[in-house]
Structure 1
Amino acid sequence: MNAQQVILRKMTPAEYGAATEHREAESVRVLSRLMPEEVARERVRRGTATFLPDGLDTAGHHLLTAENAAGDAVGNAWVGPDPHQASGSASSAWLYDIHVFVPFRRLGYGSAILTAAEALVAREGRTALGLNVVGDNEAAIALYRRLGYDVTSMSLRKTI
């Protein structure tokens, strides 16, 4: 497979709305395994309000659309301050979300978006990019491992 390349640009308001809707629906789907759906929906809504109080224009956050060489939007990403570090002194950034649109999956765009996000973080003087991944998302885990990401913590759960 040829290595894809993307250009990251700020999302338009319409793209931000669609990305938020998708991210929140996916988050509710995952959290609903652990709690009632209505509780999950409220938790996700509060999370968006907390982390993106000014939406698309929240300071320190990059809400990005990835375009390929043909100018097609192939996915998006949300990169911002590492929530595990004190603001103002953080040496790392956080990948809150990455999404490759269905027609462009399994073509190398996930790697391209992540590589472009890493370059953005490096240009800002940060030395690391952290992220969370759902434990059963084997494709994403394989991507992150292939690109050199290491496990830094792990949470396990068993329903009994």
Structure 2
Amino acid sequence: MKTLRLAPMTDEQYERYRERAEEEYAQNIADSGAMPLPEAREKSRADYQRLLPAGLATEGHRLWTAYDGDDEVGRLWLHLEQKSDGVHAFGYDLEVREDLRRKGYGRAMIQAAERVCRELGVVSIGLNVFGFNAGARALYDEMGFEVTSVQMRKRLGGQEM
């Protein structure tokens, strides 16, 4: 089993991450069928600006780089929020480097996030996963995440969204 180290993202890492992540999020929105790519790009830009207005210094948000030894293997973005029953975390992004996927790093990143969250007194971790991402959905199921809501749609024959 892999054990990863999470380190706060540097400014340079954040700039690389943000540029790529906004485009990947937009593509995922479009691939899900929620909206066409031009609108998805605008939504992605607006969401990132709203959620991370001060970048790495945004209150309540933690962005880490995951390392296996000295090798950067992925990124993790959590938002921590105090609620009446304790601190809750929401995972906005968990990304394993593309050439390392399906090798146990996703599972190790979740375990590292759980360790950090326990240290911070977090009582639950939530996340969102696009319906078409069967691999991530299967991993989250295996790691004990439970479905809290489901959004569905039906494409009508011959009509493109």
3-state DSSP class of the match of 1:144? helix
3-state DSSP class of the match of 1:130? strand
Specify the alignment match of 1:38 in structure 2: 38
CA RMSD of aligned residues (A): 1.5
Specify the alignment match of 2:80 in structure 1: 81
Q: CA deviation at 1:91?
A: 3.2
Specify the alignment match of 2:9 in structure 1: 11
Q: Equivalents in 2 of 1:110, 1:35: separation in Å?
A: 28
- Alignment match of 1:107 (pick from 94, 103, 106): 103
Specify the alignment match of 1:93 in structure 2: 89
Residues 98-143 of structure 1: per-residue CA shift (max 9 Å, x gap) = 0000222111110111111111111111110000001111110111
| 1:1-160 aligned within 5 A | 3-32=1-30, 33-69=33-69, 71-81=70-80, 87=82, 89=84, 91-160=87-156
- Structure 1 residues 12-21 or 71-80, which shifts more? 12-21
Q: CA deviation at 1:88?
A: 5.5
- Structure 1 residues 127-136 or 116-125, which shifts more? 116-125
The TM-score with structure 1 as length reference comes to 0.89
- Higher normalized strand content (fraction of residues): 2
Say how many residue pairs are matched.
153
3-state DSSP class of the match of 1:66? strand
Residues 41-61 of structure 1: per-residue CA shift (max 9 Å, x gap) = 111111111111110111211
Q: CA deviation at 1:38?
A: 2.1
Q: Equivalents in 2 of 1:79, 1:47: separation in Å?
A: 15
Q: What percentage of aligned pairs have identical amino acids?
A: 38
Q: Equivalents in 1 of 2:34, 2:130: separation in Å?
A: 13
- Structure 1 residues 117-126 or 131-140, which shifts more? 117-126
Q: Equivalents in 1 of 2:115, 2:79: separation in Å?
A: 13
Q: Per the alignment, do residues 88 and 152 of structure 1 end up closer, same or farther by CA in structure 2, a change over 3 Å counting? A: closer
Please identify runs of 4+ aligned residues in structure 1 that moved more than 6 A.
none
Q: Per the alignment, do residues 12 and 129 of structure 1 end up closer, same or farther by CA in structure 2, a change over 3 Å counting? A: same
Q: Equivalents in 1 of 2:23, 2:137: separation in Å?
A: 20
